[in-house]
Chain A
């Protein structure tokens, strides 16, 4: 628990409150028992827990592949892995992290758990389809893992043709795996959209929705409109491999560039699938730990929709050097700058919320603040890459790798960690250890920067990505990066250990350990299977932190 004894009124609130902190005798975790009650559950909270366990496993597998990559790059020679082995290692890292972790992590874990709770609903609109989505995720992931174990895939996570249709590795099972995981993601987004439209509690108007819901809603739009396109695209790759004639094969008049267009038509919006829910988490954390109403609610809400929409029209910035028309390049470049606007609106509003707030540095808040800093770097370097001229220079270098990881790890992963800590008491009914949490947040922040900042430098100097050997001038950056990755790995292992411990032995949290607003904090922790004993009626906006002021002062004087 909290190691700080400063007389911050908020601090004392995070401790289990002796009067309220009773672990509910009957809750969603223990209402029914036995493995069948979990594997056949239709309860969105249990499905979220299933997703939590399985996506964490995926994260470990993807991390293991990343460790192999970083170890190999410690020296300029290829001494740990062969060139083929290295290709397979970074492909495994990319496929597992993107399709099996980043895309499902926040929506399927936190979204599944929180969407009905935040809406005051008993469940998602289609509970059985929700369970089906988890099974599809498991089948698709199993196929991807099979592809990786039984010989590997060496195309990278992008499956670019014509290489992916000619290489003799397991592209088909990986592609079919991605296709099936895609449907799991479609079903998740589909469920969220219907639930947000039709199952809000009485009084919960659109502009009283928590911003996390707005983000998840925008994410779901991308999921249902973008994912089918990648589905049909990887299916065409699989067909081309199976019957050896090509939709994308130049020998038959096919156009590999068409593949890239179709692929990025999904896969660029897909990075917004990965980061938008993270934005939603930050929009929940900042007001809670600054004890202030969010600044610019409607701007943050609408910017999520704007990102989802504009996100569909920027894919061409992945094709600046692929032979796309230079005029198209100019248009895509301009549109890519445009998407920086709604993103910046969010960052400005978060910092404006902090202004004059009563800020406290609990673990979730640490993650949120680190997120803002790192995402800023990731986002700004994204503008570098959106400029056609500069992109030609840094294309396919570690600059792009660093940019992507600043957004995905520094951005999405930190937001996810913040969210998992923040809602851990709600999910498990118990508190995480505050001191260890803060140590882990700081370790991750330091490890992350040491890993990826040198990659900006060496990328700008010309170190190409996806090479397992390199000239010795770059070694110092690679050594730094690998050293940082070890710290980063340690930082990610810590929460896995202490959260698992706290799940069973942590102090009882009580319904609302942070004095947070939001419907999910008005029910017991962990909630009952039906979420609420009585459907709540909403009469105020989502971040009315002024209501807590008096309570806080009372505690303060104690």
Chain B
């Protein structure tokens, strides 16, 4: 009773091509459908992040001083390192796809392992950054505390001059309160991006397991290619996030 149409059909086709689902005519059609599917999914993802990017842009226009000052509390060093880590992981992922297409099983697994390590590295650095924000009371909520003459700034040599503080307050008397908006959207954006990284880690580990079972060959590497596309999207979103939230005031 539990067998249903698709499993029946899959067994029927197993004789000639185990990777061809029953409802496709041939492998070319299936591969094209899968890759177009992922591109359409990427369009959806961009619109999903788009709402937050729009919110960021609107509030940045409304409160340029607050967003500039708040942005300067982020650690550009960690941001740069993370960008490099993620870009490198995108490179290793591209190499993994290449190896899969060439049929190099060991290299495929090796590159994907490096990609996962980079992804964990990225999340590790992200959590260091987030916990710094937590210690500095920059997490929005009842404990949020943003003052212009913050002692942490003095320690790191980034303290504002009295004139800078005065002019910021003159332009926007609520600058300290409006800075919270920056951090609300900062946590939403980096949080949502982080969720995507975590999903990516899960998918790549799954692919490593499947590659370990010898499922992929030079004739069949579609799942690896799709994983690669997804991972590049995660990377591209970060490429937009990084200048937007870290470098915005440094011009």
Contacts and interface: CB of A to CB of B under 8 A. Distances in A.
Interface string A175-191: 00000000000100010
23 contacts: A36-B1, A36-B2, A37-B2, A42-B6, A43-B6, A122-B23, A190-B40, A190-B44, A193-B36, A194-B36, A198-B33, A199-B23, A199-B24, A224-B47, A229-B50, A236-B52, A245-B180, A247-B55, A253-B66, A255-B62, A258-B54, A258-B55, A535-B25
Contacts of A132: none
A123 interface: yes
Interface of A: 31-34, 36-37, 40-43, 121-127, 186, 190, 193-195, 197-199, 224-229, 231-233, 236, 239, 243-247, 252-255, 258, 262, 529-530, 535
B4 A253 contact: no
Interface stretch (B73-81, B107-115, B181-189): B181-189
A363 B2 CA distance: 39
Contacts of B55: 236, 247, 258, 262
Contact of A42 (B4, B37, B51): B4
Contacts of B84: none
B5 A228 contact: no
B241 to A, nearest CB: 15
Contact of B181 (A40, A227, A232, A247): A247
A213 B136 CA distance: 56
B70 to A, nearest CB: 12
Main secondary structure on B side of the interface with A? helix
B5 A225 contact: no
B50 A33 contact: no
Contact of A252 (B9, B50, B177): B177
A253 B181 contact: yes
A222 B37 CA distance: 16
A253 B51 contact: no
B141 interface: yes
Contacts of A42: 4-6
B156 interface: no
Nearest to A38: B4
Nearest to A128: B6
A272 to B, nearest CB: 16
A122 B22 contact: yes
A253 B177 contact: yes
Contacts of A41: 4-5
Give the most central of A194, A253, A254: most B CB within 10 Å: A253
B59 to A, nearest CB: 7
A229 B47 contact: yes
B174 interface: yes
A200 to B, nearest CB: 10
Nearest to B47: A228
